[in-house]
Amino acid sequence: MSSYFTDLAQQYIDGEWRPGTGSWDIIDFNPYDGEKLASITIATVDEVDEAYQAAARAQKAWAATNPYARRAVFEKALRIIEDREQEISEVIVAELGGTFLKAGFELHLVKEFLREAIHLALRPQGRIIPSPVDGKENRVYTVPVGVVGVISPFNFPLLLSLKSVAPALALGNGVVLKPHQNTPIVGGSLVAKIFEDAGLPGGLLNVVITDIAEIGDAFIEHPIPKVISFTGSDKVGRHVATVCASQFKRAVLELGGNSAIVVLDDADIDYAVDAAVFSRYVHQGQVCMAANRVLVDRSIADEFTEKFVTKVKSLKVGDPRDPQTVIGPVINSQQADALSGVVEQAIAEGATALVHGTTTDNLVAPSVLTDLPADSDLLRQEVFGPVAFLITFDGEEEAVRIVNDTPYGLSGAVHTADIERGVNFAKQIDTGMFHVNDGTVHDEPIVPFGGEKASGLGRLNGESMLDAFTSLKWISVQHGRSGFPF
């Protein structure tokens, strides 16, 4: 495993591994024990430019490559991940503080999305569209946008990098990837290594490990990329969208959430408890789709609450390398401090802590809070950690109102014995995704993924990848002669 953190602690530009030329280093720490994993000299604005120039140079030939030949690269990338799965799992655990359960969950999705990328290479098709003009043939081609800039987050860095990188490449584009500073290997250079070993031509995929303190807006302002795919906070997403709009770039934004899981009066309580605990506490709650809010009908609230609290208290907190651990560390001390602040603020506002988790270094034990005033800002913001707000309601109408009372609209779930009741409930929620009798955390390769309101712009996955990373070009052919008015 250590070789990943030594060999890959570099920039990957124009098919070459090389150090950055910045004046300082990003230090990659294990969030559980503070071990220094890697030291990476950052990329400068000049290197961002070199990466984009390389992608633009390589992209033309790649777009002209037979899509069956492009497809072979993704088939090999999939085999590489399958062969190295154990090593990659260990790297995920070390760099993210994720458990092996979480690493397995992430790698399962990575393989599914690569399988979809294999098919995506053959997806673009042209169309012939009728014309009102005699003798005219209208051809519509699906073409690559050119170069895509990808900015990925720290929570599922391998998946959320590959989720944009692989489709963009499969559809004939070049890519420059900027991973999060806390996960430069898993979210960045590991992706480059997989594709390099899979035979992707040099220059098509570039990885720049850097920080906005060094490059400012250079990554998103650069004139070459036509699309910026960003996954992260809504605050940064708003800025990315503003810059992109001012330069007529397309922005695909997968942003934060404040999802709710709703337990109606006829729900299977034991099953709903399991779904709610997973939806809130998977990967320490550092998931955009996580259920910040757990809404329970008042008629079953006592039974649900007792079982929910009992299960939360049973979750083992500690070393993510321990197979029994469910709650590992959050990504860094700033996150840990912020989460402690959320709990203290909630209590100060009048909430009752049914479970009051302690914080030790980056280990934040689960908290369950109830009786938070309905007008509290905490109920309307994303809490990126293992803190659950329990809310009781009287009837579906009130539940719908509470669920929608947030700036976000990403995911959610409802539990009920009546499936159509659940579907009708889901239709009333202002989200891009909603699940009946399941958890809030789901992603599938061919189902449109994305949010409403402050949770993002656009969709990824399946056919939506064509909308994100290709453009349409109309070429008309006039058979015979056109008539002109003068």
Q: Indicate if 269 and 150 belong to the same structural domain.
A: no
Whether residue 240 is contained in a domain is answered as yes
Binning pLDDT at 50, 70 and 90, where does residue 282 land? very high
Question: Contact at 8 Å (CB) between 205 and 165?
Answer: yes
Predicted local confidence at residue 274, as pLDDT: 98
What order of strands is seen across the sheet that includes strand 227-231? 16-18, 11-13, 205-207, 174-178, 147-151, 227-231, 250-254, 456-457
Query: What residue has token string 């009333």?
Result: 428
CA distances from 439 to 22, 153, 276, 400 (A): 44, 22, 7, 17
Q: What is the mean pLDDT of residues 18-41?
A: 97
22 and 142 in a common domain: yes
User: pLDDT, tens digit, for every residue of 74-83?
Assistant: 999 999 999 9
Residue 379 lies in a domain: yes
433-461 confidence digits (pLDDT tens): 999 999 999 999 999 999 999 999 999 99
- Which H or E run contains 223? none
The mean per-residue pLDDT over the stretch 157-178 comes to 98
| pLDDT at 9 (0 to 100) | 97
pLDDT, mean of residues 376-386: 97
Instruction: Verify that 278 and 250 share a domain, yes or no.
Output: no
Residue 1 has pLDDT above 90, yes or no: no
**Residues 11 and 94 occupy one common structural domain:** yes
Largest Cα–Cα distance in the chain? 83
Question: Residue 266, SS3?
Answer: coil
Is residue 186 included in any domain, yes or no? yes
The mean pLDDT value for 249-274 works out to 98
User: Are 282 and 104 contacting, i.e. CB atoms less than 8 angstroms apart?
Assistant: no
Crossing angle of helices 301-314 and 269-281, rounded to 10°: 50
CB 411 within 8 A of CB 441: yes
The reply to whether 39 and 135 lie within a common domain is yes
Residue 485 lies in a domain: no
Same structural domain, 200 and 272 = no
**C-alpha radius of gyration, the chain, whole number:** 24
447 within some domain: no
Alpha carbons 249 and 271: distance in angstroms, whole number: 45
Handedness of CA 167, 168, 170, 171 (dihedral sign): positive
CB 283, CB 439: distance < 8 Å: no
pTM of the complete model beyond 0.95: yes
Q: What is the CATH number of the domain that holds 56?
A: 3.40.605.10
Q: For residues 218 and 221, what is the distance between their CA atoms, to the nearest angstrom?
A: 5
42: DSSP letter: P
CATH of the domain at 306: 3.40.309.10
* Predicted confidence (pLDDT) at residue 413 exceeds the cutoff of 80: yes
Q: Are 103 and 251 in a shared domain? A: yes
Asked whether residue 443 is domain-assigned, the answer is no
Query: Whose structure tokens read 């602040």?
Result: 341
Range of the domain at 179: 2-255+455-474
User: Is 80 found in the same domain as 224?
Assistant: yes
Question: Is 441 a member of any domain?
Answer: no
Q: Per-residue confidence at 2, pLDDT binned at 50, 70, 90?
A: confident
Same domain, 460 and 330: no
The answer to whether residues 340 and 106 touch, using CB atoms and an 8 Å cutoff, is: no
238 and 328, same structural domain?
no
Question: How much of the chain, in percent, has pLDDT values that exceed 70?
Answer: 100
What is the rounded average pLDDT of the residues 159-165?
Answer: 98
**pLDDT score for 23:** 96
Catalytic residue IDs: 254, 288
Q: Give the whole-number percent of the chain exceeding pLDDT 90.
A: 99
- Residue 399: pLDDT band by 50, 70, 90 thresholds? very high
Same domain? For 353 and 467 the reply is no
Residues forming beta bridges with residue 433, ordered by sequence position: none
Number of domains in the chain: 2
Q: Is a pLDDT exceeding 90 seen at residue 257?
A: yes
Q: What is the pLDDT of residue 367?
A: 98
Residues 153 and 284 in one domain: no
Cβ count near 248 (within 10 Å): 7
In a domain? residue 156: yes
